[in-house]
Structure 1
Amino acid sequence: MKSTHLICFLFLGVLCCHVGSSVADDGEPVGPVFKDGEAQVVEAFKDPAYWLRHDLWVETEFDTDGDGKPDRMHVSVTRPAQTETEGLKLPVVYVSSPYFAGVGVSGDEYFWSPRQELGATPPKREIAPPVKRTGTRPIISKSHTEDWVPRGYIVVHSSSPGTGLSQGCPTVGGDNESLAPKAVIDWLCGRGKGFSEPEGGQPVHATWSTGKVGMTGTSYNGTIPLAAATTGVDGLEAIIPVAPNTSYYHYYRSNGLVRHPGGYMGEDIDVLYEFIHSGLEANRDYCDCNVRDELMLKNLDRETGDYNDFWASRDYLNDLQPLKAAVLMAHAFNDWNVVPEHSVRIYEAVKEKGVPCQVFFHQGGHGGPPPMKLMNRWFTRYLHGVQNDVEKDPKSWIVRESDKRENPTSYVDYPHPDSQHVPVHMIAGSPGQGTLSMEAPSEQPLETLIDNFSFDGASLAKAESTQHRLIYVTPELTTDLHLSGTPKITVRMACDQPAANLSVWMVSLPWNDKKDAKITDNIITRGWADPQNQESIRKSAPLEPGRLYDVSFALQPDDQVIPAGQKIGLMIFSSDKEFTLHPKPGTKLTIDPNKTTLSLPVVGGKEALQTALMPSAE
């Protein structure tokens, strides 16, 4: 391939370049190359020294900073030189984020204190100092460029509203975080307005775009593709959200309970607002007053944890009707930051809509995109229009426990089509271990536990005897047991106080502190609920001390093979040190094991579970 001579610089925000010609050795114009349904690395696109990089501002349809003018989003473009020298048009991989310009300081002093009595007004927290914005023009980020530009794509980045050099206010799931990427996509498709400067400036047009756009990103950056897709914007053909936060209620609450994301005790939506607000200093007071104080602090409700209209407006499941972009979801079953239900709930809804979709799961923690082959086939089909039959590929790809993330196992769907819910029952044994059995027990006495957040879940699961939890354990499995789907539980319980936390863990025992290749995690899944919300997550009612209530809720989705030789334990306790509020210890919960049931999603159903629990022939 011939090299391209290229010099680029910015003058008053306008891209100025001297570019030489660039064609293949045989004189044919350079363009994307495909093999086996995947876009290939093109030699002429590989060298970053010959990429064009420039930035601009795209005008939106909203004004969230109160200045009376439409907010403009800061956008940067990275594209092969051939889009200038030869008029080559290419599809776009677009990534948007609130993090590109830096984030705020993080520390316990800026979080809400978890030491709060349930139902009480939380103690005030200290406001975090302003974010110190980082980054220089014209490059917002270099993420994803090495993956996609050499394969014949243009990569576009934008800072979300109220971050970096983008105007407006961050709203953490508000409408402007959906409409901002929509505006950028409209511009990429020739419908929107782009300018060389945040105020005034010369018009900028995306003449190098085919009008086919895909979005991807991880965590918050994975939420924004879904947010954009819910607008139904034309031109957004496919998205690959990785560990997306699809509902801020499900991120900061659980079944009526205040429940913090794993690793971030005391964080709430207002804390995240401060963490990402790296936007213009001139807008800070207005945004703090109108978004953080008037909107968030008045509606986040750390007293009850109830669902309300504020939270409903930040749940993308409620906004899926316009969505038409093909969706490849990615998540980890051991992600306790953005728990796996975030992706499962969207995947199930998108599948129900009939929109093309696949899902990729691995057994690790937060983040982790699908293998390049899966992503490449997805974008090749929907952005380049190559008929590679990706629609006929298996819908579900799951990394098995001992495999590498690049080597997932394919399944017809998720949950596994052969998975069936099997009820299991509790046989009392407190303060030691009770039994988890397929046989319904004869009448047995009630059991009690005493709440004390001082003991973490792992310590409670490993304890031979303790009054601070109830645990029910199966016999040792004689064969591997494959669980696939969402376990569900009904706990019949009473409390001696008007309010209590309720936490449930499913664990694999004996506990393996060292971990090995086969047992990757002792925690199978977890779940949390507020007994005050046993009838509705929108309205809580004080518990009548001593009265038995049925509290039914789902645990987190999973797909895991529990190896032979392990036992499955169901642990019921109150305050979860790693996730819930920490009320004063001493609340007593009474559990009725006769009416407490767990529904396990077992591949092979009842027969498979019976086989795994059958005594060994030896």
Structure 2
Amino acid sequence: MSIKPWRKAMKYHQFAKTLPTLDQQILELQEIDLYPVDLAQYSFGQVAQHVYRHFLPDFRSQVTLETQLHNLLVDENQDLFSYLARINETFNSKAFYNVALQLLGFFSPQDFSLADPLFAMTKFDLPYLDETNFDFNTFTTAIYQLLNTRCQNGLLFLDNLANRGYFATNLNARKQQRPLFFNGKAQATFAADQFIREVVYVESDLDTDHDGQRDLLQTTIIRPKVANSFIKLPALYTANPYFLGTTDTKMNDVDVPMAIKNPGDAREAVDKFDQFHEFSTKPVSDNQNDPFANHPSVITPNNVGTVTLSDFFLARGFASVYAAGIGTRGSDGIRTCGSPEETKSTIAIIEWLHGDRRAYTDRSRQDEVIADWCSGHVAMTGKSYLGTLAVAAATTGVAGLDTVISEAAISSWYDYYREHGLVVAPETFQGEDANVLTNECFSRQKDAGDYAKIKAFYDHKLKQMIHDQDRESGSYNHFWEVRNYRRDIAKVKCPIVSVHGLNDWNVKPKNVFKLNQVLKEAGIAHKVILHQGQHIYINNFPSLDFYDLINLWLTNKLFQQENHADQIFPDYLIQSNLNESDWQTPDDWQATAQKSYNLAIDFDHKGDSEVRFVDDGVQAFHDSKLKDLAWEQAFIQEDPRFSQNQVVLKTSSLSNELLITGRPVLNLRVKSSANYGLISAMLVDYGEANRLTTRPQILEFAARELGYHGKQENTMAFKQASQATPAKLIAKSHINLQNRTTAYQNEAVQPETYYDLQLPLQPTYYHLPAGRQLGLIIYATDMGMTIRHENNLEYTIDLANSNLTIHQG
């Protein structure tokens, strides 16, 4: 058998592990029927036989069960069936862990040697007891720990047992249809083939389509079937504007002149778009607890595009709730991209789940439907726009929202579509802006009859948005002010978990960095997971126990199980850029120690302390036929076609590793040949190396299930690139010279006049190994992100009066 190389190097970190007292271990083992209730009547040997037979739930006849016990070796010469027949009062630890590794999905001799299983346990970073022989007490702890040990596919052993039918086989039907907890985590006791699916229409206080009626919001629910109506379940709610489809929308033109702004405060400009009528909140019915007043759903959803994280938790007793929001297919209203109205439509669903808002079975508004199955405890989940709306909801302090799990989330829409007074696009989406995303998600257009009723009003509002977003100036105005969720951080009442890629140039890392700063200042719990990927989910990465951490967290926050989640979950969990399996837990993202590099002294630079470059590369870019990302790579590697458009500075080769944490800051003295201009900067890792990829690769297809009869999931990981590359982008940033003080204050620029500006780059956490060079590229137009103005501006940098400051870990 050929074993893939990644399996030999993988470490299976378990940050969510916890070990209760021995008495608690026994109680929990009895609760899941792994230990018999009448335990005192069993000898040690009988307990061991009982346990291992239960470890094979998918082999239900005596013959097949014994065959599998014969297939498990305790050493080179003896199988488990024979060994169990002979044990009395102790169980040899080497035999135990040889069997454990096989049960966890590892192979001998390819993955481990039967002569030394503890070497493999250490190599894979799996927990074990360092004892020669186990008596009943230590055997109990070893078994309990084994159930909470991660398998080769990254799931806990107990999770894999559940997926193979353990709970379906060993728990009676009524016990299966209720929440069950083990090791502080909810267990997969609900079968996927018994989920209830329904659609309701939540009534909001909004009238964003100006038709004189409250906007109805179509909401899709998938929930486990419970044993009786007294069992209430929490909900994982995802606000997903893409949920019911998107439309083809043309990007904005980026090959346009750069504007010269009039001095002044951009926030004083009038925002006409964000003016909508709103009703007062309608009180809920007095008969909320009357089962005869509650009507069943009359619509069953089909082809639902679910979130994998929510799918995982469905089997564990968490309902999944999805709503696309105002302006989407099946709902009323229009899309407003990040506005307060969008946020209010988002939290309306939480208010219904909490019992504070009305909903109906259909659009006639005749028959009310109550979320009587819901405990009123809600968490929000999702990536990108989905995670963004979770952050937005948290900043309202809405009752019922107990926590947020946001991945790659925007915390200010200005930081998504703008930067320091410039229009700056998300990576690979050059020309996108609020108007584009609004129209893309305005899926009411898919229903011709519905669209015809509101087209004129929508077209009018879209024109207002195009004006108010102000692509001409790029300054921070009122339109962007109301789309800055960090303004309302004082209203946040729930803890937040953020997951973000350090190589995400779509939703750039400063969104989560700035969110972390204001949450810390407000004293609100914020757990941050930073990985080496781009704009992705990471739940299926075996090197991190992501599902277990989130299970621990949600079980605590939504089921109110005391499991010490706040203490166990690290405040910062950061993946190294040198090793996919290296997850670090620093005290903070940004270290306090600083190191400053003078651009004239500390970088290898030949010539005068004043250097110049010309910003005339737009035509060369178009002539090259390169796409945005290809241009960026060529630019970093000093392609001669673009060399006159940049100043490239490099340190000498590092004698020791350098850890760059948080936000590097470039303090620059610069002048432009005109009365306007921009500066961009890249921080670069130079040196030939087989670097870690930023796009994950599939390790195994359909490697694991998300519950009994549940969906299957591939496992993925970042891998070392097969070919060496000469350089890699660490961080970048851009600034308008007219906004050198703030993004909202427009200032005049005099030609050939030096200005001092401070340019914070995107935050990072980057290990630069010894032998590499730290590089800095200073340029102007970024072909993949900024406006591409064809010009011939010349910029001069005073290197002696410029420096780069980093926070050194």
Shorter-chain TM-score bucket reads 0.7 to 0.9
Letter in 2 for 1:225: A
Which residue of the other structure, out of 490, 497, 511, is the alignment partner of 1:328?
497
Match of 2:49 in 1: none
Which residue of the other structure, out of 584, 590, 593, is the alignment partner of 1:415?
590
SS class of match (1:324): coil
Match of 1:485 in 2: 662
Give the Å deviation of 1:87.
Answer: 3.5
Which residue of the other structure, out of 775, 780, 785, is the alignment partner of 1:569?
775
**CA distance in 1: counterparts of 2:800 and 2:781, whole angstroms:** 23
2:463 is the alignment partner of 1:293: yes
2:518 is the alignment partner of 1:349: yes
SS class of match (2:799): coil
**CA distance in 1: counterparts of 2:414 and 2:665, whole angstroms:** 20
Give the Å deviation of 1:515.
Answer: 6.3
Give the Å deviation of 1:167.
Answer: 1.1
Give the Å deviation of 1:182.
Answer: 1.5
Which residue of the other structure, out of 221, 233, 241, is the alignment partner of 1:77?
221
**CA distance in 1: counterparts of 2:466 and 2:173, whole angstroms:** 65
SS class of match (2:548): helix
**CA distance in 2: counterparts of 1:263 and 1:512, whole angstroms:** 25
**CA distance in 2: counterparts of 1:460 and 1:27, whole angstroms:** 63
2:372 is the alignment partner of 1:228: no
Give the Å deviation of 1:551.
Answer: 1.6
**CA distance in 1: counterparts of 2:411 and 2:200, whole angstroms:** 29
Give the direction of change, closer, same or farther, for the CA distance of 1:464–1:236 in structure 2 (3 Å limit): closer
Q: Which moved more, 1:269-278 or 1:347-356?
A: 347-356
Please list every run of 5 or more consecutive structure 2 residues that lacks an aligned counterpart in the other structure.
1-31, 33-168, 262-298, 445-449, 540-545, 622-630, 694-719
Q: How does 1:521-536 map to 2 (within 5 A)?
A: 522-536=728-742
2:762 is the alignment partner of 1:556: yes
**CA distance in 2: counterparts of 1:481 and 1:118, whole angstroms:** 38
Give the direction of change, closer, same or farther, for the CA distance of 1:443–1:386 in structure 2 (3 Å limit): same
Does the aligned pair in 2 maintain the 1:66–1:286 contact within 8 Å? no
Match of 1:540 in 2: 746
Does the aligned pair in 1 maintain the 2:229–2:373 contact within 8 Å? no
SS class of match (1:303): coil
Match of 1:391 in 2: 566
Deviations 1:31-87 (A, max 9, x none): 222222222211xx122x21111110001111111111111111111111116x454
Match of 2:75 in 1: none
Match of 1:31 in 2: 178
TM-score, normalised by the number of residues in structure 2: 0.65
Give the direction of change, closer, same or farther, for the CA distance of 1:26–1:372 in structure 2 (3 Å limit): closer
Give the Å deviation of 1:541.
Answer: 3.1
Of Structure 1 and Structure 2, the greater helix share is in 2
Deviations 1:282-320 (A, max 9, x none): 4542552343112x1121112211110111001111122
SS class of match (2:800): coil
Letter in 1 for 2:463: D
SS class of match (2:479): helix
Letter in 2 for 1:292: L
Does the aligned pair in 2 maintain the 1:58–1:192 contact within 8 Å? yes
Give the direction of change, closer, same or farther, for the CA distance of 1:590–1:29 in structure 2 (3 Å limit): closer
Deviations 1:112-139 (A, max 9, x none): 2211111079xxxxxxxxxxxxxx9524
Which residue of the other structure, out of 491, 497, 519, is the alignment partner of 2:674?
497
Match of 1:93 in 2: 236
Does the aligned pair in 2 maintain the 1:350–1:357 contact within 8 Å? yes
Match of 1:270 in 2: 435
2:552 is the alignment partner of 1:377: yes
Letter in 2 for 1:32: P
Give the direction of change, closer, same or farther, for the CA distance of 1:337–1:322 in structure 2 (3 Å limit): same
Of Structure 1 and Structure 2, the greater strand share is in 1
TM-score, normalised by the number of residues in structure 1: 0.84
Give the Å deviation of 1:566.
Answer: 1.2
Letter in 2 for 1:602: Q
2:636 is the alignment partner of 1:461: yes
Does the aligned pair in 2 maintain the 1:491–1:597 contact within 8 Å? yes
Match of 1:470 in 2: 647
**CA distance in 2: counterparts of 1:26 and 1:74, whole angstroms:** 33
**CA distance in 2: counterparts of 1:589 and 1:244, whole angstroms:** 35
Structure with larger Rg: 2
**CA distance in 2: counterparts of 1:89 and 1:212, whole angstroms:** 10
**CA distance in 1: counterparts of 2:305 and 2:374, whole angstroms:** 19
Does the aligned pair in 2 maintain the 1:304–1:540 contact within 8 Å? no
Does the aligned pair in 2 maintain the 1:29–1:86 contact within 8 Å? no
**CA distance in 1: counterparts of 2:547 and 2:583, whole angstroms:** 12
Give the direction of change, closer, same or farther, for the CA distance of 1:546–1:293 in structure 2 (3 Å limit): same
Deviations 1:493-534 (A, max 9, x none): 111112222110000113669867288970010011001111
What CA RMSD, in Å, does the superposition of the two structures yield over aligned residues? 2.6
Give the direction of change, closer, same or farther, for the CA distance of 1:76–1:311 in structure 2 (3 Å limit): same
SS class of match (1:570): strand
Match of 2:301 in 1: 138
Give the Å deviation of 1:350.
Answer: 1.3
**CA distance in 2: counterparts of 1:513 and 1:150, whole angstroms:** 41
Match of 2:97 in 1: none
Q: Which moved more, 1:532-541 or 1:158-167?
A: 532-541
Give the Å deviation of 1:344.
Answer: 1.2
Match of 1:596 in 2: 802
Does the aligned pair in 2 maintain the 1:502–1:572 contact within 8 Å? yes
**CA distance in 2: counterparts of 1:147 and 1:35, whole angstroms:** 16
Deviations 1:186-224 (A, max 9, x none): 111111101001232311001111110000001001111
Over the matched positions of the two proteins, sequence identity in percent amounts to 27
